């Protein structure tokens, strides 16, 4: 959704002038508003990474940041973070240890304890899972994608788990667990420095940020599994539960993980429905991997998934 420009110790994000059903960056005013919202929301999680919103101006000498000419766009200015300390890089280097998990969960717990609780209706929260699962089925079962029936069986398992957990999902809202969270908690959005920097939260759609903390941690665990570290899902969930003083049933975390993995599989194949998809050979194998993760999460065997294959 953005172009990122790296300039020495700084990074600048320029939003693309696009419009989708779930976001609108089509006008200059829309992009400025979203830049300022990105700044506000991400400063909830990290105090020294998001430095400000800067105008891109056009004058006689050309384009300039913060110049005196006409404002033609807006950028978010950030402190550049070390790539080698990103969680995805640490996982790939086999360097994500217990201390790493603990420091990330410390930061997340502080954030969740201070986050505003959702005003979403409990029935609407539960219905979102069913609605997204219906879309999952519509895309993932299309014959043109040719996904194996064994992989698609994860959708049947997810249907069954959702059907018996709707009351539990509603209760998560009633009991005050669902809040205005990060919305896109993935390893590449976590930098393990001191203090831990968690960034790139989902700023353009408040509804998609209304989450259970253990739904977010399940997404993080799914992405860790994709990178070859499936055991981190249980580690993150356990450490976060300790810090928040509440441990949801493991099968709820597994349900969240299965749902998130199926959703990620669908989003992969959705790229192939675009007129000119980027990296078209990438998406079908990746969707299959996510479905494998979904099936293992829902069947209780995700920690045995060291042999998950991107193929």
In SS3 terms, 267-278 reads as HHHHHHHCCCCC
138-164 in b/e form (b: 16+ CB < 10 A) is ebbeeeebebeeebbebbebbeebbee
**Whether residues 9 and 118 fall in one domain:** no
**Domain extent for 22:** 2-80
**Average pLDDT of span 23-47:** 95
pTM (2 d.p.): 0.93
306, 166 in Cβ contact below 8 A?
no
Both structure tokens of 277: 């998809």
| pLDDT score of 309 more than 50 | no
Instruction: Note the pLDDT of residue 92.
Output: 98
pLDDT digits (tens, 9 = 90+) for 212-233: 999 999 999 999 999 999 999 9
Q: Could you tell me the pLDDT band of residue 307, with boundaries at 50, 70 and 90? A: very low
70 and 89 housed in the same domain: no
The confidence score (pLDDT) of residue 22 equals: 82
Same domain for 221 and 298, yes or no, is yes
| Residue 258, pLDDT above cutoff 60 | yes
Listed in sequence order, the residues at least 6 apart from 122 whose beta carbon sits closer than 8 Å to its beta carbon are 169, 170, 171, 173, 174
What pLDDT score was predicted for residue 61?
Answer: 85
Q: Which of 80, 112, 133 is the last residue of a domain?
A: 80
**19 shares its domain with 103:** no
Tell me the two tokens of residue 173.
């809202």
Residues 194 and 144 in one domain: yes
The mean pLDDT value for 100-128 works out to 97
Among the candidates 29, 62, 80, a domain finishes at 80
- Asked if pLDDT for residue 311 goes beyond 60, the answer is no
């Amino acid at each position: 959704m953005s172009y990122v420009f790296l300039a020495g110790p700084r990074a600048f994000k320029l939003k693309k002038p696009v419009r989708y059903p779930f976001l609108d960056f089509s006008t200059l005013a829309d992009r400025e508003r979203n830049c300022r919202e990105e700044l506000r929301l991400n400063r909830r999680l990290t105090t020294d990474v998001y430095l400000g919103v800067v105008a891109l101006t056009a004058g006689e000498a050309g384009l300039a940041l913060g110049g005196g000419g006409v404002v033609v766009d807006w950028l978010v200015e950030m402190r550049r973070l070390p790539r080698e300390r990103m969680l995805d890089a640490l996982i790939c280097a086999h360097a994500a240890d217990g201390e790493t998990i603990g420091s990330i969960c410390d930061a997340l717990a502080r954030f969740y304890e201070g986050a505003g609780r959702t005003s979403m209706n409990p029935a609407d929260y539960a219905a979102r899972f069913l609605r997204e699962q219906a879309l999952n089925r519509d895309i993932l079962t299309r014959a043109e994608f040719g996904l194996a029936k064994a992989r698609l069986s994860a959708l049947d398992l997810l249907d069954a788990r959702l059907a018996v957990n709707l009351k539990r999902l509603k209760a998560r809202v009633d009991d005050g667990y669902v809040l205005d969270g990060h919305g896109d908690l993935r390893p590449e959005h976590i930098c393990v420095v001191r203090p831990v920097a968690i960034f790139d939260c989902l700023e353009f759609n408040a509804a998609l940020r209304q989450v259970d903390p253990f739904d977010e941690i399940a997404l993080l665990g799914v992405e860790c599994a994709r990178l070859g570290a499936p055991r981190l899902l249980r580690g993150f969930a356990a450490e976060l539960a300790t810090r928040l003083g509440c441990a949801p049933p493991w099968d709820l975390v597994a349900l969240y993980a299965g749902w998130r993995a199926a959703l990620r599989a669908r989003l992969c194949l959705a790229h192939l429905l675009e007129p000119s998809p980027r990296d078209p050979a990438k998406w079908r194998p990746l969707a299959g991997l996510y479905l494998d993760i979904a099936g293992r999460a829902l069947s209780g065997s995700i920690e045995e998934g060291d042999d998950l294959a991107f193929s």
